[in-house]
Amino acid sequence: MENPSTPAPRQPVYLDHAATTAVDPRVVEAMLPYFSVAYGNPSSLYRLAAEAKNAVDRSRTTVAEILGARPGEILFTSCGTESDNLALRGAALAARARGNHIITTPIEHHAVINTCEQLAQALGCEVTYVPVDRHGLVDPDAIGRAITPRTVLISVMYANNEIGTIEPIAAISRIARRRGILMHTDAVQAAGSLPLDVDTLGVDMLSLSGHKFYAPKGVGVLYVRRGTPLLPTQTGGAQEGGRRAGTENVPAIVGLATALRLAYDHLEDEVTRLQMLRDRLIAGVLGRIPDTVLTGHPSQRLANNASFVFAGIEGESLLLQLDLAGVAASSGSACASSEEGASHVLTAIGLDTVAARGSLRLSLGRENTAADVDYVLDVLPGIVEWLRAMSPLYAAGSAVAGTGTTPSGASAAPTTGA
């Protein structure tokens, strides 16, 4: 049923940058020659191929500089999911003689969780999921207590893709290094928002995905620290130092490196701008819509992430009504099927399945302005009110089940940056 109070759509407001971003025109321009001019196979020996190989080498150097790594430690992949898969599966296979225990958290992306499940089922690996608190934050000491003599790998995401919480990766890495255990972080959501220096983070492996920071879809990065044992999981040619076979996607690799450089040339200013918009959005939603909870850490969160649960409504219905009003948003990870039910992230932070289905993730990006935020704050309260009026689940003044708090005052707007 259509909400009669929904205004006619204005210029679309895109608030789903955590799902994907538009390719920056400057990135497209950098990519174009490698489709039809310098189109050679980088593994061939003639001049046309050398131009393509040089482009890949320059891109690898650019990414390495931003990560504080060596060029030889940068592998280009097809996406963040492949990077996560290669990190976990490759490290686990390489370490079988030494141990088979992996430590992670229950709020990881499915690219990590499903890979861990397969490793457990197919290879007999043991997996420990260290719980997080109600903000989605994992305790480094809890990670340390989970370590056994058979532990070979720890994988904890840098920042959560649904609720935006930033994890204490450097502290976890110090524990891993003292115990001689490999440390991987899925930094897909962090790229373009947080520093990626691998020595500061202390990680042995780090995953990125180009389409989260205005590069094209279909290209990713896996940083692998020199000396890290990693068994290739995609075999064939000798590309990527023999660790990831397959002809390189030269245009996409050039695009990723260009986009990453653009993001980190202006990181501080853009993060400050997005924090201001995020805080305005969070304060407006919590102030105008009762029985609402901010999910994720109130301050230790990504600069562009505002995520909520609304008592008594279904997230999918909310998204449809927002779309009619010209607002593109998400109820959680774009990689999760609606058939899976409540978000595993939201249930992991203590929400029950009913409350978790009333979630909304608003993720800001370069093109968003204060006018976009104000428009969302104008239309969202009416949509929520209309949906609640039809919902048998909602009773005015009720708490969001699973939080143990009265939602309308549960969380204040953050005042410190991600």
Q: Enumerate the active-site residues.
A: 335
Query: ∠ CA(366), CA(319), CA(406), 5° rounding?
Result: 95
State the Cα–Cα distance between residues 74 and 206, nearest whole angstrom: 10
Q: For the beta carbon of residue 150, count every other beta carbon within 10 angstroms.
A: 13
Phi, psi of 91 (to 5 degrees): -70, -40
* Residue 127 one-letter amino acid: V
Tokens of 106: 């229950």
Single-letter code of the amino acid located at 94: A
CA quadruple 342, 348, 354, 356: dihedral sign: negative
Distance CA(148)–CA(102), nearest Å, equals 10
Neighbours of 247 (CB within 10 A): 12
The three-class DSSP label of residue 172 is helix
In DSSP notation, 266-319 reads SHHHHHHHHHHHHHHHHHHHHHHSSSEEE-S-SSSB-TTEEEEEETT--HHHHH
- Segment holding 13, helix H or strand E: strand 13-14
Residue pair 134/107 in contact (Cβ under 8 Å)? The answer is: no
- Amino acid at position 342, single letter: A
Closest CA to 384 of 403, 366, 408: 408
| Beta carbons within 10 angstroms of residue 295's beta carbon | 33
